[in-house]
Amino acid sequence: MNNLLNNVLNHINEGIVILDTNLEIYAWNRYMEVITGISRTTAKNNNIATILPAFNKNYFKKSMNDVINSGCKMFFSAAMHRNLLDSKEYFNLKISSLESENTKFLLLEFTNVTNQFVQIKRLKEYVSELSTVNKKLKEKEKVIKKLAYYDELTGVANRTLFYELAHRFMDNAKRNNSILGLMFIDVDDFKNINDTYGHEVGDKVLIQVADILKKATRKNDVVARHGGDEFLILLPFIQNSSNYKIIATRIINTKNSIIDNEGNKINISLSMGISFYPTDGNDIDKLIAKADKAMYIAKGRRGRDNYCCSACICP
């Protein structure tokens, strides 16, 4: 091989090996010396499997013979063939055939793709980090959403969520000419409970009341804390105004739960007022005002622990 060809091979930034048909090394460029630590003098005229033991495998021998016989090309990726060279770096291998003066040769080209693997690894790590960050953001979003729309103490809807849902149900009722009910619930004698047993017990009472209301209502009803010891319940999709009695009676019958505070039994008593769209108003605030008045009638005339609708037609 002439000096010009040697110079060309030695200036190529790839590992170049040329084999004869016996798979003996005919050329071994400088880049191969660098990446393998094997000199050209040591490599030349030796079988490729002797110099690079990984090529002793049958499928490499068969592949190289197929290239010699058919003239096809073979490609071996660093991802699947990590140990082609005794190196910490990654190399793709392309095997193709050469012919000079009716003599066949094999050309082996080792291309360093370590940077690509490093970039891929970094990309995978970056994607993994993004996934973790995204998961944490979603978890924080849930927490923020809960804080924004749910009462921290009782876990029921807060005023913000209540009004959002109330406007939707009101719009639906207007479109379908249907009835929307609203219940205003107040815990009887709650100030006295706080003053006598302390705010910690008062909080337990509010949590218990919220649980009572959730258990007594239907799936589509909305239980919300209006503030202090006041709660609201939206009753969408009711067939007629008298349907509220079912829910109100259920609350009365299930609210006999007690809070046991160091042996002191505290009975929970609730007063409820009920109003309806469209008879009591065409917006949520009017319904709340009417239900609030009805609640005070239940608390006053009926001696608490009772309910009354806005028209004061009490059971």
- Residues annotated as catalytic are 229
* CB distance 274 to 181 below 8 Å: yes
Torsion of CA 144, 149, 150, 152, to 10 degrees: 50
Can you name the residues that pair with 225 across neighbouring β-strands? 231
Residue type, position 246, single letter: I
Q: What are phi and psi of 262, to 5 degrees?
A: 55, 45
Tokens encoding 90 = 């990654």
Tokens encoding 9 = 């091979």
Tokens encoding 189 = 């004698």
* CB distance 165 to 233 below 8 Å: no
SS (H, E, C) 152-194: CCCCCECHHHHHHHHHHHHHHHHHHCCEEEEEEEEECCHHHHH
Directed axis angle between helix 190-197 and helix 199-216, to 10°? 140
Distance between CA atoms of residues 120 and 176, nearest Å: 57
Distance between CA atoms of residues 259 and 255, nearest Å: 11
Q: What are phi and psi of 134, to 5 degrees?
A: -65, -40
C-alpha count within 13 angstroms, C-beta hemisphere, residue 120: 8
Can you name the residues that pair with 227 across neighbouring β-strands? 230
